[in-house]
Structure 1
Amino acid sequence: MDEIMTAAEAMEASAMPCARVVHCDDGTAPTPEQLPLPAALAKKPVGDKGQAEWAYERLVLYLKNFEDQLDKNHEIAMGFAGGTAGVLRIEGVGYFNPDIVTFYGADEAGTKMQLIQHVTQLNVVLRAVTKATPEAEPPRRIGFRLVQDLDEAAKITTADASK
């Protein structure tokens, strides 16, 4: 039987993502499925987002969470299944609605790389790699910058809406 909802309940339900995770170890650090959605992502209902936008926003959460668990000697990269593409050190992530997500970076030798991925083919393996910068330099954290960008975009959207 279908549940009857008020208009407000239906609108709230459309804004709330559905997520779930189970880990073997109860001591596992919280993962994006278990954490509350940042305010910047929760402002726009999921149903109003393009596939690429919503995929990008969730990738940001996974990238940030993975980086939060790295030590100062490691940075985030992604590996590729099949082929000989190797590893891409993630230096940028973007999307182009309705259906493209893009990763920018370099391989382990420092050669520039870019992955353009359709959201229906999206598979990302996150890897910790020894940082490319000298020991004295802090590791680069793309996840932090991506979350910061989402927060700034939400502030601009809110300011535009209030005009």
Structure 2
Amino acid sequence: MENDIKTTAEAIEAQALPRRHEVHADDESPSQKPLPDAIAKTPVQQKSPAEWAYERLILYIQNFEEQLDDEHEIAMGFAGSDSGVMRIEGMGFFDPDIITFYGSDANGIKTQLIQHVSQLSVMLRALPKHIDRKEPTRIGFRLARDLQDEAGAGENEDATG
């Protein structure tokens, strides 16, 4: 049995780490993976609501895409709206509280959703991939790679920026 006594630093660090809990109806459903170092190393309290929502959405998108076959790509539906579905082709945030989704609708028309984090409510959906592409587009992996690249760039900056 491990020693349950923690130092003050360990207790403070444990409080700063985000919590997540999931239960699925079957054992086959993949759960979210642990937070990547690029996300976990900066305490939540130091992030804007937009940055923190953006990072978590990347994890959800990537996890959803891992469940898709080669014939489907990720899209999002607008919860509580009849606006339809948007194929996710990009995502960003604008501190302190705006999340932006870039993509195209079911008719291929360029679409952008700008949403305040307090109104964030999206439904991830699987759409058939574009017929003119051999491979499906996987935005989640590109977004996660960008987070890793950004974290690495931050470590390489000197005190002058």
TM-score, reference length from structure 1 = 0.88
Alignment partner of 1:160 out of 139, 152, 157? 157
Partner of 2:157, secondary structure, is helix
Q: Name 1:125's counterpart in structure 2.
A: 123
Q: Name 2:135's counterpart in structure 1.
A: 138
Equivalent residue letter for 1:128 = A
Partner of 2:127, secondary structure, is strand
1:36-55 map, 5 Å:
36-55=34-53
**Unmatched runs of 5 consecutive residues or more in structure 1:** none
Equivalent residue letter for 1:8 = A
The CA distance in 2 between the partners of 1:26 and 1:82, in whole Å, is: 30
Q: Name 1:17's counterpart in structure 2.
A: 18
The CA distance in 1 between the partners of 2:158 and 2:23, in whole Å, is: 39
Cα offsets for 1:5-43 (capped at 9, x unmatched): 7441244124411111111112322x22xx211011011
Alignment partner of 1:100 out of 98, 101, 105? 98
Q: How many residues align?
A: 156
Give the RMSD, CA atoms, in angstroms: 1.9
Cα offsets for 1:130-150 (capped at 9, x unmatched): 012425x21110000000000
Compared CA separation, residues 155 and 14, structure 1 to 2 (3 A): farther
Q: Name 1:26's counterpart in structure 2.
A: 27
8 A Cα contact 2:70 2:135, kept in partner: yes
8 A Cα contact 1:15 1:44, kept in partner: no
Compared CA separation, residues 6 and 162, structure 1 to 2 (3 A): farther
TM-score, reference length from structure 2 = 0.89
Moved more, 41-50 or 54-63: 41-50
Partner of 1:72, secondary structure, is coil
